[in-house]
């Protein structure tokens, strides 16, 4: 009798534990996922501090995504958090690349080799995170990018459209980062034509030419994917950049700069950097998604810094951003006497 009573009590404890623990975890997970999507994401998208945003992605993603063990995976917010975490890894890769260029400029071979290896490893980490972000974005909207027949996902508002669009862009970035790492991350290249098809689900005019910029980037990577009547890729990239300035989100200019570097077009790179610098005059940012424009600004400035560091051994001086050499226009420049300061 005591044995039966003991088993009954144990069963009751197990049932209560099961009813009290898992429901709390799953409820917390649902609340956090909904809060992140409804409140935190719009707030972060309006931020103007990409470094803080990337730290948020690295810090919050493991906590939020751990709830996928007890409830549905929060793929919508999770794709954006992993995108931001990928940016953190890329910022470190940028610093390693600049260190490599400085050492190479100074003729310090051991330091250059060390910095270059560090850059490759960080690019591999960036590629891994960005590929994960791409996969989460596709899962969030139950979109199969490899399906033979293109079936566009249901996207109910601007935030969902942008999340899907950034997921596709992040997939393309993952391929570029993996190439820069020496293919250490193993990102499958077949996501490039998948992204080229999927971006056609989005309004090019509305999103500042970014969908067509992604398509042009794929056409440069895989020329066979370019439709017969499509315009030349560099022209599409230029048109997309101009549309981005008009829309208030210059992500297309960042894509154009990356394409110019990747495919060896210094003339296009110099032009897009100059256009980006000029665009700051009277530019009206799309406030709701300011963070995207600020991240694009960092990408273009890094392209400029790479050129300056390789050619002159230091980053772009602020007053020279938009130029590719230290030659400066001395007209109308006020001079200051140092005599009084010595």
pLDDT in tens, the chain (342 residues): 455 555 444 444 444 444 445 778 888 888 888 888 888 888 989 999 999 999 999 998 888 888 888 888 888 899 999 999 999 999 999 999 999 999 999 999 999 999 999 999 999 999 999 999 999 999 999 998 888 888 899 999 999 999 999 999 999 999 999 999 999 999 999 999 999 999 999 999 999 999 999 999 999 999 999 998 889 999 999 999 999 999 999 999 999 999 999 999 999 999 999 999 999 888 999 999 999 999 999 999 999 999 999 999 999 999 999 999 987 555 444 445 544 444
Q: How far apart are CA 224 and CA 146, in angstroms?
A: 17
Residues 6+ apart with CB under 8 A from 106: 313
For residue 107, give Cα distances in angstroms to 46, 117, 305, 311.
43, 17, 19, 13
Report DSSP state, residue 282. Answer: T
């Amino acid at each position: 009798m005591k044995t039966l009573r003991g088993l009954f009590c144990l069963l009751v404890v197990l049932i209560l534990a099961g009813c009290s623990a898992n429901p709390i975890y799953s409820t917390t997970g649902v609340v956090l996922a909904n809060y992140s999507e409804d409140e935190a994401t719009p707030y972060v998208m309006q931020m103007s501090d990409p470094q803080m945003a990337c730290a948020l992605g690295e810090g919050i993603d493991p906590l939020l995504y751990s709830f996928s063990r007890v409830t549905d995976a929060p793929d919508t917010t999770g794709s954006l958090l992993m995108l931001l975490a990928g940016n953190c890894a890329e910022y470190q890769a940028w610093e390693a690349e600049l260190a490599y260029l400085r050492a190479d400029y100074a003729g310090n071979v051991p330091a250059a080799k060390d910095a270059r290896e560090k850059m490759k490893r960080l690019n591999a980490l960036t590629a891994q995170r960005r590929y994960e972000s791409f996969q989460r974005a596709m899962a969030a909207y139950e979109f199969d990018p490899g399906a033979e027949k293109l079936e566009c996902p249901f996207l109910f508002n601007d935030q969902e459209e942008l999340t899907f669009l950034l997921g596709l862009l992040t997939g393309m970035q993952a391929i570029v980062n993996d190439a820069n790492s020496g293919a250490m991350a193993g990102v499958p290249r077949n996501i490039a034509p998948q992204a080229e098809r999927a971006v056609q689900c989005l309004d090019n005019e509305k999103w500042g030419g970014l969908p067509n910029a992604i398509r042009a980037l794929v056409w440069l990577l895989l020329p066979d994917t370019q439709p017969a009547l499509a315009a030349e890729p560099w022209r599409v990239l230029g048109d997309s950049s101009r549309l981005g300035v008009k829309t208030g989100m210059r992500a297309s200019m960042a894509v154009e700069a990356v394409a110019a570097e990747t495919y060896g077009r210094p003339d296009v790179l110099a032009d897009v950097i100059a256009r980006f610098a000029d665009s700051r005059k009277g530019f009206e940012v799309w406030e709701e998604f300011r963070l995207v424009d600020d991240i694009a600004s960092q990408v273009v400035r890094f392209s400029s810094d790479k050129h300056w560091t390789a050619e002159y051994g230091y980053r772009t001086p602020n007053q020279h951003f938009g130029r590719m050499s230290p030659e400066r226009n001395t007209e109308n420049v006020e001079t200051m006497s140092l005599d009084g300061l010595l």
